[in-house]
Amino acid sequence: MSQLVIKNLHVSIEDKEILKGLDLTVEQGKVHAIMGPNGTGKSTLAYTLMGHPNYTVTAGEVIFKGQNVLDLEPDERSRLGLFLAFQYPVAIPGVTVANFLRTAINARRRAANPEDKGVPIPEFRKMLKERMDLLKMDHNFAGRYLNDGFSGGEKKRAEILQMATLTPEIAILDETDSGLDIDALRIVSEGVNALMNKDMGVLVITHYQRLLNYIKPDYVHVMLDGRIVESGGPDLALHLEDQGYDWVREKYDSVPEG
């Protein structure tokens, strides 16, 4: 069973330290949720794990399948089994959802075997329809340009469809609930739940407990000032919803940096 093991991770952006010694382990088959106030480094963690070039790692390591993924390019991290669902997905006019997904699958296949001719179109169409049926998505969605003119909910569903197609071993969901109304949130969450299995671990990053009403976490972690300072079960999210983060700030206000 694969684990994503984050050890003493320090990350800066434009010479400002954001992550200050973060430790976390995410296992396949488990849902971990990270909660915390704005500006504490949650999205920095997500982007760092997938190799965003604007973030500089100054210390620590991230081990997955025996490799330090910090030494790998973003596409190599993806092929290794990591996936990031963006908080703000980018629109790509002129590229259909189906073409984007087939290109991504073929890139993975050719990286593993340069002689691979790519997934045959009939096979790909059958697979894509099966994934869309699983996520209760209209098949016409596949013919639309990726995220171009999509509503917030449609963008997030497109991200979940990518996850369903690429079948990662560790999926990172960066504030998937951002900008969604309650109906869109429920639909997207149902998609994530439909994909959950013993071979996929999920790291959910969110401000609010409401997402965790739908995607049930096994573990909840509280992030403050670039570190995980508190961990517990699902009840911890309910406590945060009821009490806010002031008690966390008071409890860990004197935590030394290092």
pLDDT of 255 over the 70 cut: no
Q: What pLDDT, on the 0 to 100 scale, is given for residue 199?
A: 93
- Residue 118 has φ and ψ, to the nearest 5°, of 95, 160
- pLDDT digits 0-9 by tens, 100-109: 999 999 998 9
Q: Percent helix, strand, coil in the chain (nearest 5)?
A: 40, 30, 30
**Which domains can be identified in the chain, with CATH numbers?**
3-252 (3.40.50.300)
Q: How confident is the model at residue 256 (pLDDT cuts 50, 70, 90)?
A: very low
Q: Taking residues 107-124, report their average pLDDT.
A: 92
Q: Which residues of 207-227 are buried (b: 16+ CB within 10 A; e: fewer)?
A: bebebbbbbebebbbbbbbbb
Q: What pLDDT, on the 0 to 100 scale, is given for residue 208?
A: 80
Q: What pLDDT, on the 0 to 100 scale, is given for residue 66?
A: 94
Q: Taking residues 183-196, report their average pLDDT.
A: 88
Q: What is the pTM for the complete model shown?
A: 0.91
Q: Taking residues 239-245, report their average pLDDT.
A: 90
Taking a C-beta distance cutoff of 8 angstroms, is the pair 158, 184 a contact? no
pLDDT of 251 over the 70 cut: yes
Q: What pLDDT, on the 0 to 100 scale, is given for residue 13?
A: 94
Q: How confident is the model at residue 46 (pLDDT cuts 50, 70, 90)?
A: very high
Q: Which residue has the higher pLDDT, 81 or 258?
A: 81
- Alpha-carbon distance of 222 to 251, in angstroms, equals 12
Helix 97-112 × helix 121-134 angle, to 10°: 120
pLDDT of 112 over the 90 cut: no
Q: What pLDDT, on the 0 to 100 scale, is given for residue 258?
A: 41
Angle (CA) 156 67 86, round 5°: 10
- 3-class state of residue 180 by DSSP: coil
Q: Taking residues 165-191, report their average pLDDT.
A: 89
- pLDDT digits 0-9 by tens, 68-102: 999 999 999 999 999 999 888 999 999 999 999 99
Q: What pLDDT, on the 0 to 100 scale, is given for residue 236?
A: 94
- 3-class state of residue 247 by DSSP: helix
